[in-house]
Structure 1
Amino acid sequence: MVSPAVEIKSPAEWSSLLDATNIVVAQFYSPSNAASLEAIHVLEHHSQDLEGHGTVLKVAKVNVDELKAIKSAYSITTLPTTMLFQNGKEIDKVAGDNPRRLAQLVEKLKRAVDSAKTEQASGSSSSWKGAALPRGYVDVTDQVELNRSELLNVDTETGGVRVLFSSEKPSALSGGKGTAKDWVESDTDEQLLLFMPFQSMLKLHTLQITSLPPTDDDDDEAPMRPKTIKLFVNKPHNLGFDEAEDLQATQDIELSESDWNKEGTASIPLRYVRFQNINSLVLFVVNGDGDSEKVRIDRLRLIGESGAARDMGKLEKIGDLPGE
């Protein structure tokens, strides 16, 4: 039996749905638009096979002719528009009848439902946050293409790219449980180079870095937190260390002890005008805050807005970004 979509009757009902439900996928439609009505049936069909429908997932439809305030709040200009929300925050949006993008949204929906069901079964949350999100922005870390990301000068006895973007609480904050090292350390010196291509064009507002080195003052080899960082946008591949040293960065960052909160996380505001419409980010850790020869990073989170999706495996060539 096809799972019916919930018809939203008021802005208050919409807000209550977002607050009470882990995952909401919503179709914004008009009864006079045939494509909108067909899209609702397609969405209902996809949702029926998802285990967890009704517990962690709700499918909703919003009549934009009657609920103009909601239409305006989400800048709905094309019908149908499909939006995916998790924990009340927008994580994907497809404007129009775009089969490729809708297929991507459905796959993202399936992963979100699976993750939520796992959380329910374990009684724990996998969406650990090292710091609060800036108001009006969302976590877009899931837009990083992990299989095409590259990390240079990493100690292979520690974790790799995937642990950096894990949503699980770092083991250093959980009593060190587990045998796997769920963090990254540099290898031959204190520098690290990380290349992150994205699944869609992003607008980045904040970079959050969590670093939890051990606090044993007697250990001269203990890794350090990053101190000097350079960021580069829209690179088709990773940089070399010499190139990164010489190249002018999109933004230079200098961290001090006061920038780290009790969770070991630094929230770094980005020069927003320079981080519009970007398809990749290179993070270069130049040095650490101390005398060790190693730098440690436990988690990375990207905060901002996601935009139009691009073809997977292809980086568009973008011209120079304007200055501030």
Structure 2
Amino acid sequence: MADRHGHGDGHGMGPCECEAEKDSPDRGFEFGLYKKIHLERLQCLNESHEGAGRLVFKPWEQRGDKSKFVESDDDEELLFNIPFTGNVKLKGIILMGEDDETHPSEMRLYKNSPYMSFDDTERPPDQEFKLNRDTTGDLVYPVKVARFSSVNHLSIHISKNFGGSISKIYYIGLRGEWTEARRHEVTICTYEAAANPADHKIDLFTPQTQFIS
């Protein structure tokens, strides 16, 4: 059971932004960003069973598998912290649930804010959606690409549902483009094996010999 870290009130409420799309052979490829998620590092706060939040990020053709899902624990809220293996240009999101009150009704997105808690969701999101019930994956919520053009970490806050005591999700699909993160070049330093006297200041001492008569 994940720890609960407080609540945040919704900000920046907006109209429902979604578009219905027909299935196509390329649809699975378009929503293949689940392959670019560090699943072992993915966090889901307020999940009723530990590790269940990872199960909803799966292949497109498995989106209807209702044996894999996540439910919230204490109330209707869920918070996914999703690290990617590179940089993502996010373009769209699908969220599938039940055709009842447990289906999320509001989704809030935050970019590049790793390890968010529910206290952190008190600030306005980078984008917010009013959701419709979707049990088949037909509704795509278009993301503001200019705002999400370089994302290495995405947080999804499910803040409300349609009146249920808990929220339930079967599938979250992410559409976009992935590029490999640039690695810092390694600087090779060469150290001297032995000091060169010509490169260093050397103080020369001439000892004085005293003769005792």
- The TM tier, using the shorter chain, reads 0.5 to 0.7
Q: 1:162 to 1:138 in 2, by over 3 A?
A: closer
Q: 1:131 to 1:243 in 2, by over 3 A?
A: farther
- 8 Å Cα contact 1:141/1:303 also seen in 2: no
Q: CA RMSD in A?
A: 2.5
Matched position secondary structure for 1:282: strand
Give the aligned residue type for 2:129: I
* TM-score under structure 2 length normalisation: 0.66
From 172, 175, 179, the equivalent of 1:303 is 175
The C-alpha deviation readout for 1:123-179, integer Å capped at 9, x for no partner, is xxxxxxx95567x9563221110011100001118x61331112224334xxxxxxx
Task: Count residues in correspondence.
Answer: 158
Matched position secondary structure for 1:163: helix
Tell me the equivalent position of 1:165. Answer: 57
From 225, 238, 241, the equivalent of 2:103 is 225
Give the aligned residue type for 1:143: K
- 8 Å Cα contact 1:189/1:293 also seen in 2: yes
- 8 Å Cα contact 1:194/1:238 also seen in 2: no
CA distance in 1, matches of 2:95, 2:132: 13
* TM-score under structure 1 length normalisation: 0.45
Higher helix share goes to which structure?
Answer: 1
- Gaps of at least 5 residues in structure 1 are 1-129, 173-180, 216-222, 312-324
From 220, 229, 251, the equivalent of 2:127 is 251
- 8 Å Cα contact 1:170/1:182 also seen in 2: no
Matched position secondary structure for 2:147: helix
Tell me the equivalent position of 2:73. Answer: 187
- 8 Å Cα contact 1:131/1:267 also seen in 2: no
Q: 1:300 to 1:169 in 2, by over 3 A?
A: closer
1:238 aligns with 2:131: no
- 8 Å Cα contact 2:63/2:170 also seen in 1: no
Tell me the equivalent position of 2:40. Answer: 147
Q: 1:171 to 1:304 in 2, by over 3 A?
A: closer
Once the two structures are TM-superposed, the CA of residue 265 in structure 1 deviates from its matched residue by 4.8
- 8 Å Cα contact 1:230/1:284 also seen in 2: yes
- 8 Å Cα contact 2:42/2:54 also seen in 1: no
Q: Does 1 or 2 have the higher relative contact order (CA < 8 Å, sep 6+)?
A: 2
Tell me the equivalent position of 1:200. Answer: 86
The C-alpha deviation readout for 1:11-63, integer Å capped at 9, x for no partner, is xxxxxxxxxxxxxxxxxxxxxxxxxxxxxxxxxxxxxxxxxxxxxxxxxxxxx
CA distance in 2, matches of 1:202, 1:240: 22
The C-alpha deviation readout for 1:104-139, integer Å capped at 9, x for no partner, is xxxxxxxxxxxxxxxxxxxxxxxxxx95567x9563
CA distance in 1, matches of 2:98, 2:137: 6
CA distance in 1, matches of 2:120, 2:166: 21
Once the two structures are TM-superposed, the CA of residue 243 in structure 1 deviates from its matched residue by 1.9
The C-alpha deviation readout for 1:258-301, integer Å capped at 9, x for no partner, is xx3x6155311001111101101000000002x21111111111
- 8 Å Cα contact 1:196/1:282 also seen in 2: yes
Give the aligned residue type for 2:118: F
CA distance in 2, matches of 1:138, 1:297: 17
Matched position secondary structure for 1:275: coil
Structure 1 vs Structure 2: percent identity of aligned residues?
25
Once the two structures are TM-superposed, the CA of residue 240 in structure 1 deviates from its matched residue by 1.6
- Gaps of at least 5 residues in structure 2 are 1-21, 184-213
